[in-house]
């Protein structure tokens, strides 16, 4: 099972965090700090796996963003890399050539996509099409609601 | 009212939305905290408004701030408000915020139960989906209990979108509320065959997770998963299933195919077609198969390759050893993860032949390594590798001592004590090395300032502890004890940690006695002896003033002693002998298990109470009852008394627990764990001692020390010489081999003869001792064993071992132990651990032999196997522990059982025909795979040949016609093995068929071996 997924920039700024197991705030902050220092401290041409406490850490850098997740010791590292990659593909498909700014400004969308892809630390849907279809459908639903409501026009939900 | 709405919407035009917030934060880089605190104030205002749109906007911003590390727990109730909005747009934000901010101790979670239940049954599938997603993040035991039923119904929802989410979240529910597992499981199992692939993969995920926690309960699902595995085309699902099989196989050797997946699960993606794993191939396969994965770099493959190798190493060390150079190369890698993995591998790869080479490489790395953690890791690995299984791989201990001495040059290592304990261990146990070790240690002591100069606190000075002790204890080997004594009493020693000083002082006294001994022989030299006493009297007062109690006590005691001796010396009295008597007696190593061997004296029951325990917690209830009727108290106590004598095991265990707990809580009870040494260390307060820092620009190289490299060369020369010697021996040996051939008993593996024998006891070496396969044992008996791969049920093999006492002492307390392999295990009595040894149920008087049987359980009989084992025993006269290593060779033949086919002997013709028919049918059925063998130059009569096969390989003859015979045997697991043996002109051809090709190949190899030896 995946325990957490973190996205952070080269400067160590957190861009997205998803915790699949309930963890106290203080502990979360410690993990985030450890992960950013550990991962950012790695040299560029080194392997993507680390051990931290009893977790396996798998990370991968996409452009300026580091995608980093913590797995149970029994999990497969390669599969986790694939999961990260699939998530990037999904983001890419949704935003169209995704960049860090897309995730910063539409961070809730990034979460929604993630929620359709993973649930409770397990892969929920392996098909890209199915994921994007359900994201589109819920966005449609949202737009329909906004159209119906006069008040919500200026709110700026895309 | 209308006005209020209009006013609200105008206000909102000035509200910040999320984008504004983000932009704002980016524009206020200098005073971010201040900007955010104003934003939070605004958000608080927004949350106070009635308008749900405004609230949800505020909550959305809060979620962002939460990620930046700000505390938003105060808004938990507002989040719940937004969650319960009827509009999907807001609900979505609400649940997102909840999943990010809520945790188990958030108290408003209790309020959400009904809202979530409502959302779960919403007609809109996305409402339900959002609720499920949120719930997966913050589900508590209470929520799990209350909602388990609702989620279970959702598992059979019409929409696959809901079904897959429900299935996945069920795992979280199981974790929080395990009672739900039983009722939900049948439905979960159904989902494995759901028409929608998403739901199917979700169910596989959940069951894999469950099975990993408790594999036993999911064995029954194996066939279903097997079906899925062969039918599914979804790689994600396949990987999960392979992992699942990996968890299941240790429990149940499934069908051969599934077993092979277990191995391939290591190399991750080895596809289904890979069949029986060929191990070196599997690593290549790993690279090939992982190519389709889009994101792999070379480094990833390298890492995984090493990881896979370490798994394979456990089962097939040979195939990994061939990659030694590759692994050594990995040590040069820039990446620490890869280097550490490679180090792990090296541990399992060493042999007598390559140990020196590998350690030499490692030493190079130690010199190059940057960063103390990695260097320390290297150091411990070097020591681990060398000392593993009782220094099994070390052939030259002088080399090892030099390595240890070289390691002391490491600056700032934490593992000084490790090196020290190795030095002590080797010096005590290897008698032949003592002279060399003492010389080395004396140099170390002489150059102590180099070690302690910079690294006062780092622990490398621990080696001085060992050095001082070794020099003192074995001072008779010292060339110049006087010089060493002087070195040990330098004033700088007083800066060392207390426990080391204490050893110094004590051993200075030992040296003193040696010096006296050496000098007093010649009366002319009595001056030197007196000078020595004077030296001690001059130098010891420094230690008497030490703030360490131990040092002080020893120093003042010895000081007084020396003063007294000096007085006697002045009167020209010979004292040397008496002084030596102080330190007489030799220290012998004691096996860690020795205490176990001391028989418990008769009449002593260790479990019995010395004093009856006060009626504690367990009898409290009784006590309360009796209190009421105090009159009967006496009578009752009389009743309870005898209970103590007949308590059962459980009760005893429970009491022991209670007693342990009591002891743990009792501050006055002295516990066993903390060592006295530690106490000293803490007590010294090294920080307070003024230290002179010496800056060394040259690397720390202790002068006058031999480098370990030279031993590598020496070893090579020696090996070559040995080789030449061995050639001469060969003839002799072959003869010996012939005598041995019959039994597949213990084999001696004398590839390399060790330069030094390490022995524990040298006297009383029995004459007939036969060295078997280890450098660390003295040996007393030989044993010849006989593996009768015998009958019984499909997985048992009986090994009968004949123990023969060839020495002239009584041998007792024999314990037999075999290192289990994955495939074969020694069957031990219930309750015994997997490494416990079995007691051999008899003693052996001199010259007597006796037989014991041991049962092994074997899983796969396809391959022959060698098991390593040890026999420990006590020779009565010396009452020391002895160890004997041996190997058991399970040939494939030993798995065959002679199954008579009555075609020849059977009087009943019908039965005979039937039997033959059955044989013919078996051959025709096509289930058997064939293989053949040709033996040339056999010139013994045909019936001898057949008898040989029957006798050595457990076959029986089905039918014989002239120079042609068919033979049959069965394995303990029911494989049929058929042979057709033909002979013509000294050539024998054997056509063989069997339903297990691997087994057949090995059996044929063994047959070939039998005939090549005659």
Segment B10-19 mean pLDDT: 65
pLDDT of res. B15: 67
Q: What is the value of ipTM here, to two decimals?
A: 0.90
B69: left (phi over 0), alpha (psi -120 to 50) or beta: left
pLDDT, tens digit, 9 for 90 and up, residues B476-535 = 888 888 888 888 888 888 788 888 888 888 888 888 888 888 776 555 566 777 888 888
pLDDT of res. B721: 66
Between B1011 and B203, residue with greater pLDDT: B203
The rounded distance, in Å, linking the Cα atoms of A34 and B696 is 36
The minimum CA-CA distance between A20 and chain B, rounded to whole Å, is 6
pLDDT interval class at B644 (50, 70, 90): very low
> Could you tell me what percentage of chain B is helix, strand and coil, using 3-state DSSP and rounding each to the nearest 5?
60, 10, 30
Record the tokens describing residue A130, joined without a space.
Answer: 């199915």
Residues 722-781 of chain B with CB under 8 A from chain A are none
pLDDT of res. B737: 40
pLDDT, tens digit, 9 for 90 and up, residues B241-253 = 777 776 666 655 4
CB A103 within 8 Å of CB A110: yes
pLDDT interval class at B272 (50, 70, 90): very low
Q: B980 CB contacts (<8 Å, ≥6 apart)?
A: B964, B965, B966, B967, B990, B991, B992
Segment B807-833 mean pLDDT: 77
pLDDT interval class at B693 (50, 70, 90): very low
DSSP label at residue B799: E
Between B1006 and B772, residue with greater pLDDT: B1006
Burial A52-91 (b: 16+ CB within 10 A, else e): eeebbbbbbebeebbbbbbbeeebbbbbbbbbbbbbbbbb
Query: What backbone phi and psi angles, to 5 degrees, belong to B856?
Result: -115, 145
Segment B872-883 mean pLDDT: 74
pLDDT of res. B771: 34
Q: Is the pTM of this model over 0.90?
A: no
pLDDT of res. B314: 67
* Residues comprising chain A, all counted: 158
Mutation for B interface: A119, A133, A146, A152, most B CBs within 10 A:
A119
Q: A116 CB contacts (<8 Å, ≥6 apart)?
A: A124, A125, A131, A134, A135
Between B66 and B292, residue with greater pLDDT: B66
pLDDT, tens digit, 9 for 90 and up, residues B521-571 = 555 566 777 888 888 888 888 888 888 888 889 999 999 988 888 888 888
Mutation for A interface: B46, B67, B242, most A CBs within 10 A:
B67
| pLDDT above 90 for B1003 | no
Between B580 and B698, residue with greater pLDDT: B580
Say what percent of chain B tops pLDDT 90. 2
Segment B123-131 mean pLDDT: 89
The rounded distance, in Å, linking the Cα atoms of B938 and B1012 is 9
| Strand ranges in chain A using DSSP code E only, listed in sequence order | 2-9, 14-19, 49-52, 55-62, 65-71, 118-119, 122-123
pLDDT of res. B604: 78
pLDDT of res. B774: 32
Nearest CA in chain A to B286: A78
pLDDT of res. B761: 33
pLDDT of res. A67: 94
Residues of B in contact with A152 (CB under 8 A): 53, 89
| Strand ranges in B955-997 using DSSP code E only, listed in sequence order | 956-961, 964-971, 976-984, 987-994
CB B559 within 8 Å of CB B540: yes
pLDDT interval class at B873 (50, 70, 90): confident
Contact yes or no for A126 and B268 at CB 8 A:
no
Segment B571-600 mean pLDDT: 77
The rounded distance, in Å, linking the Cα atoms of B82 and B52 is 7
Closest-CA residue to B712 (of B359, B419, B275, B292)? B359
The rounded distance, in Å, linking the Cα atoms of B389 and B371 is 30
- Parallel, antiparallel, or unpaired: how do β-strands B896-897 and B811-818 relate? unpaired
Q: At how many degrees (to 10) do helices B256-266 and B298-315 cross?
A: 130
Residues of B in contact with A19 (CB under 8 A): 100, 137
pLDDT interval class at B404 (50, 70, 90): confident
Record the tokens describing residue B431, joined without a space.
Answer: 């008698």
Segment B589-613 mean pLDDT: 77
Say what percent of chain B tops pLDDT 70. 69
Contact yes or no for B197 and A142 at CB 8 A:
no
Most confident of B186-195, B257-266, B335-344, B905-914: B186-195
Query: What backbone phi and psi angles, to 5 degrees, belong to A63?
Result: 50, -120
Record the tokens describing residue B328, joined without a space.
Answer: 């050594």
Segment B287-293 mean pLDDT: 33
Residues of B in contact with A108 (CB under 8 A): 18, 60, 63, 93, 96
The rounded distance, in Å, linking the Cα atoms of B129 and B133 is 6
| pLDDT above 80 for B442 | yes
Residues pairing with B957 in the sheet: B967
Residues pairing with B865 in the sheet: B890
The minimum CA-CA distance between A122 and chain B, rounded to whole Å, is 7
Contact with chain A for residue B992, Cβ under 8 A: no
The rounded distance, in Å, linking the Cα atoms of B609 and B658 is 14
Give the range among B326-335, B661-670, B683-692, B878-887 with minimum mean pLDDT.
B683-692
pLDDT interval class at B680 (50, 70, 90): very low
DSSP label at residue A97: S
pLDDT, tens digit, 9 for 90 and up, residues B737-794 = 444 443 433 333 334 444 444 433 333 333 333 333 333 333 444 444 455 555 455 6
Closest-CA residue to B321 (of B276, B362, B352)? B352
* Helix (H), strand (E), coil (C) string for B170-224: HHHHHHHCHHHHHHHHHHHHHHCCCCCHHHHHHHHHHHHHHHHHCHHHHHHHHHH
The minimum CA-CA distance between A116 and chain B, rounded to whole Å, is 8
pLDDT, tens digit, 9 for 90 and up, residues B134-192 = 888 888 888 899 999 999 999 988 988 999 999 999 999 998 898 888 888 888 888 88
Record the tokens describing residue A44, joined without a space.
Answer: 């560029």
Between B276 and B11, residue with greater pLDDT: B11
Between B815 and B279, residue with greater pLDDT: B815
Closest-CA residue to B867 (of B823, B803, B802)? B823
Give the range among A66-70, B317-321, B342-346, B753-757 with minimum mean pLDDT.
B753-757
Q: B224 CB contacts (<8 Å, ≥6 apart)?
A: B189, B192, B193
Mutation for A interface: B96, B168, B285, most A CBs within 10 A:
B168
pLDDT of res. B14: 53
pLDDT of res. B719: 64
Segment B928-946 mean pLDDT: 79
Segment B363-368 mean pLDDT: 80
- Using 50 as the pLDDT threshold, list the residues of chain A that sit under it: 150-158
| pLDDT above 70 for B862 | yes
pLDDT of res. B943: 81
Record the tokens describing residue B363, joined without a space.
Answer: 């030493």
Residues of A in contact with B71 (CB under 8 A): 25
Residues of B in contact with A51 (CB under 8 A): 337
Contact yes or no for B22 and A49 at CB 8 A:
no
The minimum CA-CA distance between A47 and chain B, rounded to whole Å, is 5
| pLDDT above 50 for B292 | no
DSSP label at residue B600: P
Q: At how many degrees (to 10) do helices B256-266 and B222-231 cross?
A: 70
Tell me the DSSP string of B99-123.
HHH--TT-TTHHHHHHHHHHHHT-S
Residues 211-240 of chain B with CB under 8 A from chain A are 212, 234, 236-237, 239
DSSP label at residue B409: T
pLDDT of res. B910: 56
Record the tokens describing residue B260, joined without a space.
Answer: 């092979």
Contact yes or no for A156 and B13 at CB 8 A:
no
Record the tokens describing residue B826, joined without a space.
Answer: 């020694």
pLDDT, tens digit, 9 for 90 and up, residues B209-251 = 888 888 778 878 877 887 787 777 777 787 777 777 766 666 5
Record the tokens describing residue B668, joined without a space.
Answer: 């006055």
pLDDT of res. A59: 92
Segment B611-638 mean pLDDT: 48
Contact yes or no for A155 and B104 at CB 8 A:
no
Record the tokens describing residue B855, joined without a space.
Answer: 């049962």
The minimum CA-CA distance between A102 and chain B, rounded to whole Å, is 11
pLDDT, tens digit, 9 for 90 and up, residues A110-155 = 999 999 999 888 888 888 888 899 899 888 888 887 766 544 444 4
pLDDT of res. A9: 92
Residues pairing with B796 in the sheet: B857
Contact yes or no for B237 and A126 at CB 8 A:
yes
Contact yes or no for A46 and B334 at CB 8 A:
yes
């Amino acid at each position: 099972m995946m325990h957490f997924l973190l996205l952070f920039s080269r400067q160590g700024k957190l861009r997205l965090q998803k915790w699949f197991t309930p963890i106290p705030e203080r502990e979360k902050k410690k993990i985030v700090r450890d992960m950013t220092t550990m991962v950012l401290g790695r040299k560029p041409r080194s392997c993507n796996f680390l051990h931290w406490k009893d977790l396996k850490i798998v990370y991968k850098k996409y452009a300026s963003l580091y995608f980093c997740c913590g797995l149970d010791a029994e999990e497969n590292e390669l599969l986790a890399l694939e999961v990260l990659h699939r998530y990037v593909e999904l983001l890419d498909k949704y935003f169209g050539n995704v960049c860090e700014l897309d995730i910063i400004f539409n961070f809730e969308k990034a979460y929604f996509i993630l929620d359709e892809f993973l649930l409770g630390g397990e892969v929920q849907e392996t098909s890209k099409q199915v994921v994007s279809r359900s994201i589109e459908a819920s966005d449609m639903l949202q737009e329909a609601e906004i159209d119906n409501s006069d008040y919500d026009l200026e709110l700026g939900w895309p | 009212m209308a006005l209020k709405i209009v006013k609200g919407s105008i206000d909102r035009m000035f509200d910040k939305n999320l984008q504004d917030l983000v932009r704002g934060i980016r524009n206020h880089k200098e005073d971010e905290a201040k900007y955010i605190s104003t934003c939070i104030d605004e958000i608080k205002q927004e949350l106070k408004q009635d308008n749900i749109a405004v609230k949800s906007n505020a909550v959305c911003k809060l979620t962002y701030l939460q990620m930046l590390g700000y505390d938003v727990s105060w808004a938990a109730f507002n989040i719940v408000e937004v969650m319960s909005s009827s509009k999907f747009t807001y609900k979505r934000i609400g649940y997102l915020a909840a999943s990010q901010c809520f945790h188990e101790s958030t108290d408003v979670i209790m309020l959400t139960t009904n809202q979530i239940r409502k959302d779960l049954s919403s007609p809109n599938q996305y409402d339900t989906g959002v609720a499920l997603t949120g719930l997966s993040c913050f589900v508590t035991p209470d929520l799990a209990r209350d909602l388990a039923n609702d989620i279970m119904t959702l598992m059979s929802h019409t929409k696959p979108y809901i079904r897959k989410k429900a299935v996945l979240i069920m795992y979280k529910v199981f974790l929080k509320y395990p009672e739900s597992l039983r009722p939900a499981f049948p439905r979960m199992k159904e989902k494995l065959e759901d028409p929608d692939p998403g739901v199917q993969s979700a169910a596989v995920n959940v069951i894999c997770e469950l099975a990993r926690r408790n594999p036993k309960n999911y064995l029954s699902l194996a066939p279903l998963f097997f079906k899925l595995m062969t039918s599914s085309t979804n790689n994600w699902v396949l990987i999960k299933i392979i992992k699942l099989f990996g968890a299941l196989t240790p429990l149940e050797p499934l069908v051969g195919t599934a077993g092979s997946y277990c191995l391939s699960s290591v190399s991750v993606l080895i596809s289904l077609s890979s069949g029986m794993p060929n191990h070196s191939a599997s690593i290549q396969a790993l690279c090939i198969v992982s190519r389709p994965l889009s994101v792999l770099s070379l480094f990833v493959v390298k890492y995984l390759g090493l990881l896979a190798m370490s798994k394979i190493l456990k089962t097939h060390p040979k195939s990994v050893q061939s990659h030694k150079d590759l692994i050594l190369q990995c040590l040069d890698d820039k990446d620490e993860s890869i280097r550490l993995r490679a180090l792990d591998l090296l541990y399992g790869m060493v042999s007598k032949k390559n140990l020196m080479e590998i350690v030499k490489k490692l030493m190079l790395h130690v010199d190059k390594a940057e960063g103390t953690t990695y260097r320390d890791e290297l150091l411990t690995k070097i020591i681990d590798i060398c000392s593993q299984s009782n220094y099994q791989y070390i052939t030259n201990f002088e080399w090892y001592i030099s390595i240890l001495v070289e390691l002391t040059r490491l600056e700032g290592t934490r593992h000084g004590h490790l090196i020290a304990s190795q030095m002590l261990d080797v010096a005590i146990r290897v008698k032949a090395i003592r002279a060399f070790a003492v010389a080395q240690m004396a140099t170390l002591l002489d150059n102590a300032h180099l070690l302690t100069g910079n690294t006062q606190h780092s622990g490398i000075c621990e080696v001085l502890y060992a050095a001082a002790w070794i020099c003192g204890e074995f001072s008779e080997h010292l060339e110049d004890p006087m010089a060493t004594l002087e070195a040990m009493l330098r004033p700088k020693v007083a800066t060392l940690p207390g426990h080391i000083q204490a050893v110094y002082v004590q051993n200075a006294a030992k040296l003193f006695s040696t010096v006296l001994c050496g000098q007093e022989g010649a009366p002319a030299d009595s001056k030197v002896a007196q000078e020595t006493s004077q030296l001690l009297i001059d130098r010891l007062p420094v230690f008497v003033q030490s703030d360490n109690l131990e040092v002080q006590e020893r120093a003042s005691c010895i000081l007084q002693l020396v003063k007294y001796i000096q007085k006697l010396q002045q009167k020209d009295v010979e004292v040397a002998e008496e002084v030596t008597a102080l330190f007489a007696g030799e220290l012998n190593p004691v096996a860690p298990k020795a205490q176990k061997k001391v028989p418990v004296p008769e009449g002593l029951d260790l479990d019995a109470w010395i004093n009856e325990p006060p009626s504690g917690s367990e009898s409290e209830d009784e006590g309360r009852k009796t209190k009421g009727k105090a009159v009967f108290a006496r009578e009752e106590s009389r009743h309870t008394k005898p209970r103590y004598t007949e308590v059962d095991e459980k009760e005893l265990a429970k009491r022991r627990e209670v007693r342990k707990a009591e002891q743990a809580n009792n501050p006055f009870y002295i516990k066993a764990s903390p060592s006295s040494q530690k106490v000293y260390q803490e007590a010294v307060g090294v920080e307070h001692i003024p230290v002179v820092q010496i800056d060394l620009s040259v690397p720390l190289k202790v002068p006058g020390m031999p480098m370990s490299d030279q031993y590598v060369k020496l070893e090579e020369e020696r090996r070559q010489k040995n080789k030449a010697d061995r050639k001469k021996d060969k003839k002799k040996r072959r003869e010996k081999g012939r005598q041995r051939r019959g039994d597949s008993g213990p084999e001696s593996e004398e590839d390399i003869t060790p330069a030094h024998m390490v022995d524990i006891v040298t006297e009383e070496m029995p004459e007939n001792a036969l060295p078997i396969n280890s450098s660390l044992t003295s040996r007393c008996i030989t044993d010849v064993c006989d593996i009768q791969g015998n009958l019984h049920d499909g997985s048992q093999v009986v090994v009968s071992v004949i123990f023969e006492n060839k020495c002239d002492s009584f041998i007792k307390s024999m314990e037999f132990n075999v290192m289990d392999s994955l495939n074969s295990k020694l069957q031990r009595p219930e309750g015994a651990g997997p490494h416990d040894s079995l007691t051999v149920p008899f003693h052996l008087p001199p010259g007597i032999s006796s037989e014991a049987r041991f049962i092994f359980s074997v899983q796969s009989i396809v391959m022959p196997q060698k098991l390593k084992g040890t026999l420990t025993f006590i020779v009565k006269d010396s009452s020391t522990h002895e160890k004997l290593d041996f190997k058991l060779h399970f040939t494939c033949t030993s798995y065959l059982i002679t199954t008579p086919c009555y075609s020849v002997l059977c009087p009943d013709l019908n039965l005979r025909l039937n039997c033959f028919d059955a044989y013919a049918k078996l051959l025709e059925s096509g289930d058997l795979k064939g293989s053949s063998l040709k033996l040339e130059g056999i010139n013994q009569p045909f019936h001898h040949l057949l008898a040989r096969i029957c006798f050595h390989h457990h076959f029986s003859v089905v039918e014989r016609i002239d120079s042609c015979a068919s033979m049959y045997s069965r394995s303990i697991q029911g494989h049929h093995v058929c042979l057709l043996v033909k002979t013509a002109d000294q050539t024998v051809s054997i056509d063989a068929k069997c339903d297990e090709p691997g087994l057949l190949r090995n059996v044929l190899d063994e047959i070939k071996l039998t005939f090549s030896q005659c």
